[in-house]
Structure 1
Amino acid sequence: MTVSPTSEAIAARLAALEDFPLLQGPRVRLRGPRDDDAPALFALFGDAQVMRHWSRPPMQDVAEARALIADIRKSMQERRLINWVIADGDDALIGSCTLFAFSAVHRRAELGYALHRAQWGRGIAREAATLALNWAFDHLGLHRCDAGIDPDNQASRALLHRLGFVTEGRQRESFFVGDRVTDSELLGLLASDWRGGR
């Protein structure tokens, strides 16, 4: 069994980051957000279809996207989360992939992602999540990664299961989307599962 790094080592690796790690895949790259990403970010998070399973309503204007970019940068500086832009071969924003809720003590984080509707069904989210998980387990040294989804989000569940996540439970009425309350399906992936599945 591989012994994961100490909590101190994980915290030190997070603290040592100078900027968003740049992660390159065959078709996409994960990079930090730029100011000129705001219109594409608004197109992503302003799409009601994309947001129907999220814990917030769709954005109403591009100013919200600009504010989100500022918050993403601040959160990165504070090491609260690493929210990458998923960029295509032309370096245009086509989605978002995030590691958040870091716990160095417990050597875990949570994974989240969203993708422009035009990119659905092409394996892009899987490629982006794979880049983030490889970094989380191989570079950062996490022991576990969690994900929480709306139980009605069958596409996200299928993706997470393909990545090796296991459904571990369900929290009843745990988040609101507008006035609608929904459960949360909880999934987990161990570093040993990830390495064994590659």
Structure 2
Amino acid sequence: MHPVELKGPRVSWRELAVADAQDMHDLMSDPQVFRYMSDTEVPEVAAYEAFLIEYCATITEPERIRYKLALTLDGELIGSGGVDLSPSGRKSEIGYMLASRHWGKGLATEAAALLVDFCLDTLGTHRVWATTDVTNHASRRVLAKVGLREEGVMRGYSFKDDVWHDSVMHGMVATDERPLRG
């Protein structure tokens, strides 16, 4: 499926483009956002450009398993995220990040709901899952609001800043009841 365009009442997802490299760098440079990322340092703009050039070359592949998306509000990039499919295409992992100036407005919930619906309704996956740092209570609430249940803590799941961090696994399957969207 190309190009991906998911529209909600306020936010939209679209394919990331090479022109988004500076905005991605700026987003990740926010310490409040970066603290929950698995990266150990913010990549330089040139590294984002190189990644996006490589990624954009794959988005028309028929057996696509990766969707890297820009989250926009009124055309402005305010976050990013995406979907990674298992090789069988039956399971999908979602992820998202949102500029801190937009936290607390319900935009992350709307964005995550669009990703869940895309996985289940468009891609036809059976299982959708996400992980988040145990201390990221806002993201845990977002995932619960869009229907993903906490399934357990994965101890020592990621290593950043010389510390092992625990993560919470969240998931849902296609037969689970989804919260009303509105």
Q: Output the TM-score relative to the length of structure 2.
A: 0.88
Q: Say which structure is richer in helix.
A: 1
CA contact (8 A) 1:111 1:145 kept: yes
Extract structure 1 runs of 4+ deviating beyond 6 A.
none
Q: Distance in 1 between matches of 2:167 and 2:24?
A: 25
Deviating more after overlay: 125-134 vs 56-65 = 56-65
Post-superposition offset of 1:103: 4.1
- In structure 2, the partner of 1:152 is 135
User: 1:186 and 2:172 equivalent?
Assistant: no
CA contact (8 A) 1:150 1:185 kept: yes
Post-superposition offset of 1:148: 0.8
Q: Distance in 1 between matches of 2:55 and 2:31?
A: 21
Post-superposition offset of 1:135: 1.4
Pairing 1:163-182 to 2, within 5 Å after superposition? 163-182=146-165
CA RMSD of aligned residues (A): 1.9
CA contact (8 A) 2:65 2:84 kept: yes
Q: Identity of aligned pairs, percent? A: 34
- In structure 2, the partner of 1:52 is 35
Post-superposition offset of 1:194: 4.5
Q: Say which structure is richer in strand.
A: 2
Q: Distance in 1 between matches of 2:34 and 2:95?
A: 13
Q: Distance in 2 between matches of 1:171 and 1:63?
A: 34
Q: Distance in 1 between matches of 2:87 and 2:112?
A: 19
Task: Give a deviation string over 1:58-90, Cα, whole Å, max 9, x none.
Answer: 41532232233234325544723101100111x
Pairing 1:128-147 to 2, within 5 Å after superposition? 128-147=111-130
- In structure 2, the partner of 1:11 is none
CA contact (8 A) 1:75 1:82 kept: no
Q: Output the TM-score relative to the length of structure 1.
A: 0.81
Post-superposition offset of 1:36: 2.2
Q: Where do 5+ consecutive residues of structure 1 fail to align?
A: 1-16
Q: Distance in 2 between matches of 1:22 and 1:194?
A: 25
